[in-house]
Structure 1
Amino acid sequence: MAGKSGAAAAVPLGWPSLGAAELDAVAAVFRSGWVAGAGPACRAFEEEFARACGVGHAVAVANCTAGLHLALLAHGVGAGDEVIVADYTFPATGHAVLYTGATPVFADVRADTGTVDPDAVAALIGPRTVGIVAVDAAGLPADYAELGELAARHDLFLIEDAACAAGATYRGRPAGSLAPVAAFSFHGRKGITCGEGGAVVTDDAAFAAKVRKLAAFGLESAWNRAASTELPVPVFDEAGYNYKLSDIAAAIMRVQLTRLPELLAARARVAQGYAELLTGLDGVALPGVPDDRTTTWQSYLVTLDPGVDRGRVAAHLREQEIGCNFGTYASHVQPVYGARETCPVSADLFRRQLAVPMHAELSEADVERVAIALRKAVENSS
């Protein structure tokens, strides 16, 4: 592993893998004069990313939350509707439902994967249910065979929240192709990043066109209009949003996409190092990956026994300048939603999971340092 931090330096929880090639790509955009959104760099990235996802269309957007919002709007979601959402996720997923005026209904997750439990989804389907948003938890795809069957049986849409999952697979198929529509994030802690950004991907040309229009105020893109030999005057026939990704960010993403295999391999080596060094540690359960899928290891989440004081463990790690955090949120307990559902598995993971450093810049020495510190912290915190 190419280390970002030496043995005596801080070991951050996350770190972007950006360098000279990305800077050169940005410089090229500067020279082109088109730095705004939805320009030539965006179009090129969209084509490349759609191919990587095994689908026909991609629309680059400002972030994954915007992508989810657009996907829901393109499905016609609105006030009075209910959308079933995986509970154990950053609340952006539920927020996107709220933005449409609909109600998110939170479904519990599997204890072994943190992904949404299809049985929990089935139990929540009611007369107002219009769709399901599954989440690829920390880059691990959900159970799309079962979820797809449920959606088809009840005439519901299915969206893959693939925020963390670029490069993951499920039964040999890439993330992005696991549901009819998917949304990705290119936030700084994701496997590939331009700081902030996202994409909506689909095989449905009409759906992609709807998303593209909604992402640009409800208009055809300025880049397309600029190519006309006439003077087209656009007409606003619906209120869209300014959710475009800048060409500066898209240029970075084009480079990052070419580096995706190496970056995923580096994260996998980190995960393997943790497994070798932490297996058998009393009080700690390590993450696993079902045989029918692969993960991006966007985060490395250990689950502490109930008798282990997570706060004390975290304090010890941070005293050693080792980054850590809780896993993610049990969305249904967040006051913003006023949710009626109970999700005991998600709530339990919310209390007990701990994220330790995971990124492509960690060295073997970093991994060993984290493992030693975690072992000591757990042994002293029970």
Structure 2
Amino acid sequence: MTTSPIALGEPTVGASELAQVQRVFESGWLSGAGPTCARFEKAFSLISGVAHTVATTNCGSSLHLAQRVLGTEPGDEVIVADYTFPATGHSVMWSGAQPVFADVRADIWSIDVEHAASLVTDRTVGIIAVDPFGQPADYDELRQLTDRHGLWLVEDAACAAGASYKGRPTGSLADIASFSFHGRKGITAGEGGALSTDDPELAGHARKLHTYGIAPALSREGAATLPVPAFDELGYNYRMSDVQAGIMLAQLDRLPTLVARRRAVAERYRELMDDIEAISLPVELDDRVHPYQSYVITIGPELDRGAVALELRARGIGCNFGTYASHLQPLYGDQPALPVSAGLFASHLAIPMHANLTDDEVARVSAVVREVVGLPSTRA
């Protein structure tokens, strides 16, 4: 049996991505918001089930743009799912508003809608739901809540490209959705992000703000005169480069295959490890398609998660904690206790999940997990 290390995550890239990059090089337009970005945005809108996509530098910049165009102002409060990478809460602070963290469901780890409802005040302007590790949150119930109080709804779909909720693709489940194409994500250009929406005014405003507050240069190509844009609003440089967009076009072609392989890996993990009492495996609800950006197990209280992680790494199995209980991070100051999120933060452990995993590697990971937690391997 091979003893080569098995990586926690790994991108699937190759000749098709190189061919798209070559095409961008030959076009002569490598910088941001160019013709290749426009092609990517059109393609991504199709898979997200929306009319408009704006390609961005990353998910954090997309979340910031979303709040800017939705009118978030200093002094406002935004309810945020607590169990998430802190970029979600950071984006609220970048907008000058205050993140108010809501606890999460114990089974699928997304925002607890009832707890979120209890946090609404006269300063609340919106809710940012998170699709933890790719599985969508409860968007029908969230929409009922936001409609009842006149709030906006943003989907942090950083991990959720290729996922769906009740037959609807991520990207189409809220007023605006924000995606990440970081190297650990299911599709990647190393970095990058996207903002998706059906609202043409929101999309147009986001496009203006992501280019310093003016229309991108591509919109002025071929003009009969010499257009000189005027800066009338503070914007940012949140543009994806055309080189990244070329890579993303190839990744979009791969997306169905990549999601299918990750789901097959998750199913095989379940077959091999669902009888281990010392750990719990992730739950996928019947009305959602989970793309498994990460595969996160819950370590039982009788085990030391740190010791388990170190032993797995010593045996060549990549692993890491899941994600953050945001309310525990010092940046946010003293926050009310959120016991479910805090418990997940303390007990979650991500094990290898990517589309390049072989069946033998999945079996090896499972066997080592069984050995480390004290249950001998009884399955082939």
Which residue matches 1:42? 37
Which residue matches 1:295? 290
Q: Could you tell me how far 1:339 is from its partner in structure 2?
A: 4.3
The counterpart of 2:180, out of the listed 165, 182, 185, is 185
The alignment covers a number of residue pairs equal to 375
Query: In structure 2, what is the Cα distance between the partners aligned to 1:158 and 1:227?
Result: 38
Which residue matches 1:247? 242
**1:198 matched to 2:190:** no
The counterpart of 1:149, out of the listed 144, 150, 162, is 144
Which residue matches 1:308? 303
Counterpart amino acid of 1:346?
Answer: S
Please tell me whether the aligned partners of residues 7 and 369 of structure 1 are also in contact (alpha carbons under 8 angstroms): no
Query: In structure 1, what is the Cα distance between the partners aligned to 2:334 and 2:78?
Result: 13
Q: Could you tell me how far 1:342 is from its partner in structure 2?
A: 1.8
Counterpart amino acid of 1:113?
Answer: I
Which residue matches 2:363? 368
Query: In structure 1, what is the Cα distance between the partners aligned to 2:335 and 2:263?
Result: 38
Query: In structure 1, what is the Cα distance between the partners aligned to 2:276 and 2:220?
Result: 61
Query: In structure 2, what is the Cα distance between the partners aligned to 1:255 and 1:297?
Result: 20
**1:284 matched to 2:279:** yes
Please tell me whether the aligned partners of residues 328 and 335 of structure 2 are also in contact (alpha carbons under 8 angstroms): no
Q: Could you tell me how far 1:226 is from its partner in structure 2?
A: 2.7
The counterpart of 1:165, out of the listed 160, 163, 166, is 160
Query: In structure 2, what is the Cα distance between the partners aligned to 1:250 and 1:7?
Result: 37
Which residue matches 1:101? 96
Counterpart amino acid of 1:374?
Answer: V
Please tell me whether the aligned partners of residues 130 and 137 of structure 2 are also in contact (alpha carbons under 8 angstroms): yes
Query: In structure 1, what is the Cα distance between the partners aligned to 2:40 and 2:27?
Result: 16
Query: In structure 1, what is the Cα distance between the partners aligned to 2:345 and 2:31?
Result: 39
Q: Secondary structure at the match of 1:263?
A: helix
Query: For residues 21-40 of structure 1, what are the alpha-carbon distances to aligned partners after superposition, in whole Å with 9 as ceiling and x for unaligned?
Result: 00010011011110000000
The counterpart of 1:318, out of the listed 299, 303, 313, is 313
The counterpart of 1:269, out of the listed 255, 259, 264, is 264
The counterpart of 1:137, out of the listed 132, 154, 159, is 132
Query: In structure 2, what is the Cα distance between the partners aligned to 1:340 and 1:126?
Result: 16
Query: In structure 1, what is the Cα distance between the partners aligned to 2:146 and 2:336?
Result: 20
Query: In structure 2, what is the Cα distance between the partners aligned to 1:33 and 1:229?
Result: 22
- Calculate the TM-score normalised by the size of structure 1: 0.97
**1:330 matched to 2:337:** no
Which residue matches 1:68? 63
Which residue matches 1:3? none
Please tell me whether the aligned partners of residues 105 and 339 of structure 1 are also in contact (alpha carbons under 8 angstroms): no
**1:216 matched to 2:211:** yes
Q: Secondary structure at the match of 1:199?
A: strand
Q: Could you tell me how far 1:341 is from its partner in structure 2?
A: 2.5
Which residue matches 1:207? 202
Which residue matches 2:378? none
Which residue matches 2:4? 9
Q: Secondary structure at the match of 2:72?
A: coil
Counterpart amino acid of 1:132?
Answer: I
**1:349 matched to 2:344:** yes
Q: Could you tell me how far 1:214 is from its partner in structure 2?
A: 0.4
Q: Secondary structure at the match of 1:302?
A: strand
Please tell me whether the aligned partners of residues 168 and 174 of structure 1 are also in contact (alpha carbons under 8 angstroms): yes
**1:229 matched to 2:224:** yes
Q: Could you tell me how far 1:228 is from its partner in structure 2?
A: 1.4
Query: For residues 166-217 of structure 1, what are the alpha-carbon distances to aligned partners after superposition, in whole Å with 9 as ceiling and x for unaligned?
Result: 1101011000001121000011111110000000000000000000000000
Kindly report structure 1 stretches of 4+ aligned residues shifted beyond 2 Å: none
Q: Secondary structure at the match of 1:326?
A: coil
Please tell me whether the aligned partners of residues 309 and 319 of structure 2 are also in contact (alpha carbons under 8 angstroms): yes
Q: Could you tell me how far 1:304 is from its partner in structure 2?
A: 1.0
Query: In structure 2, what is the Cα distance between the partners aligned to 1:7 and 1:177?
Result: 43
Query: For residues 337-356 of structure 1, what are the alpha-carbon distances to aligned partners after superposition, in whole Å with 9 as ceiling and x for unaligned?
Result: 11422210000000001000
**1:128 matched to 2:118:** no
Counterpart amino acid of 2:202?
Answer: F
Query: In structure 2, what is the Cα distance between the partners aligned to 1:17 and 1:280?
Result: 31
Please tell me whether the aligned partners of residues 157 and 179 of structure 2 are also in contact (alpha carbons under 8 angstroms): yes
- The percentage of aligned residue pairs carrying the same residue is 55
Query: In structure 1, what is the Cα distance between the partners aligned to 2:112 and 2:198?
Result: 26
Query: In structure 1, what is the Cα distance between the partners aligned to 2:286 and 2:262?
Result: 18
Counterpart amino acid of 1:40?
Answer: P
Q: Which has the higher contact order (CA 8 A, sep 6+)?
A: 1
Which residue matches 1:110? 105
Q: Could you tell me how far 1:287 is from its partner in structure 2?
A: 0.5
Counterpart amino acid of 1:37?
Answer: G
Which residue matches 1:22? 17
Q: Secondary structure at the match of 1:138?
A: helix
Please tell me whether the aligned partners of residues 3 and 316 of structure 2 are also in contact (alpha carbons under 8 angstroms): no
Query: In structure 1, what is the Cα distance between the partners aligned to 2:270 and 2:2?
Result: 20
Q: Could you tell me how far 1:320 is from its partner in structure 2?
A: 1.1
- Calculate the TM-score normalised by the size of structure 2: 0.97
Query: In structure 1, what is the Cα distance between the partners aligned to 2:54 and 2:336?
Result: 33
Unaligned runs of 5+ in 2: 376-380
